[in-house]
């Protein structure tokens, strides 16, 4: 039976090696150390590939924006932390990364989140937004041939923060900060 964390569930603690580009070191990353922060887990299939560096570079471009929102980005693949370091040292796109690069060579974390492709030994491209209590509020898993948008992940993070901070409010399609929200009410049923 597959174990998979779903929306609304709390992520169990886990620990794995990671490459920390800001310190240029390999060390342990414990998920519970990020409690109290929003976390973006960005799963991708493999280092030294094609679509992956474009996504990770775009996340690096928006990293400061995510940090301003109280969020940490953690990228995850089934490569080792040493491969992450080698990729960071050689790729112009990956050199821009400052967020932790988690190593999942046994696929345990990918299996926990339901992203592991058993026949290939890699992860699907997937994004999880996790709130400060460790609860999954958003998950998006898709085909590895399609790149994701850091801008959209940031928008989803901001919407997730807004509804957490404003109980009874919901964000309509393509909501951006400053735009109108909706108040949950029977008065709206059939009127939108």
Rounded Cα gap, residues 48 and 46, in angstroms: 7
**123: helix, strand or coil:** strand
Rounded Cα gap, residues 157 and 189, in angstroms: 26
Strands 15-20 and 38-43: unpaired
Rounded Cα gap, residues 143 and 120, in angstroms: 13
Catalytic residue from among 11, 29, 40, 52: 52
Q: Which residues contact 151 (CB under 8 A, 6 or more apart)?
A: 62
Q: Is 52 a catalytic residue?
A: yes
Q: Which residues are catalytic?
A: 52
């Amino acid at each position: 039976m597959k174990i998979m964390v779903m929306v609304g569930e709390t992520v169990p603690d886990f620990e794995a090696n990671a490459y920390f580009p800001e310190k240029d070191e390999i060390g342990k990353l414990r998920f519970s150390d990020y409690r109290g922060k929003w976390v973006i887990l960005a799963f991708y299939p493999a280092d030294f590939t094609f679509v992956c560096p474009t996504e990770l570079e775009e996340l690096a471009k928006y990293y400061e924006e995510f940090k301003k929102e109280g969020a940490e980005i953690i990228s995850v693949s089934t490569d080792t932390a040493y491969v992450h370091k080698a990729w960071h040292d050689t790729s112009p796109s990956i050199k821009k990364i400052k967020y932790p690069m988690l190593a999942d060579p046994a696929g345990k974390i990918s299996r926990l989140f339901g992203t592991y492709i058993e026949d290939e030994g890699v992860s699907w491209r997937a994004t999880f937004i996790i709130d400060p209590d460790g609860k999954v509020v958003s998950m998006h898993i898709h085909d590895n041939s399609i790149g994701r948008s850091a801008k959209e992940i940031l928008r989803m993070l901001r919407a997730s923060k807004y509804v957490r901070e404003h109980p009874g409010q919901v964000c309509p399609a393509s909501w951006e900060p400053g735009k109108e929200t909706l108040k949950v009410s029977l008065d709206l049923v059939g009127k939108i």
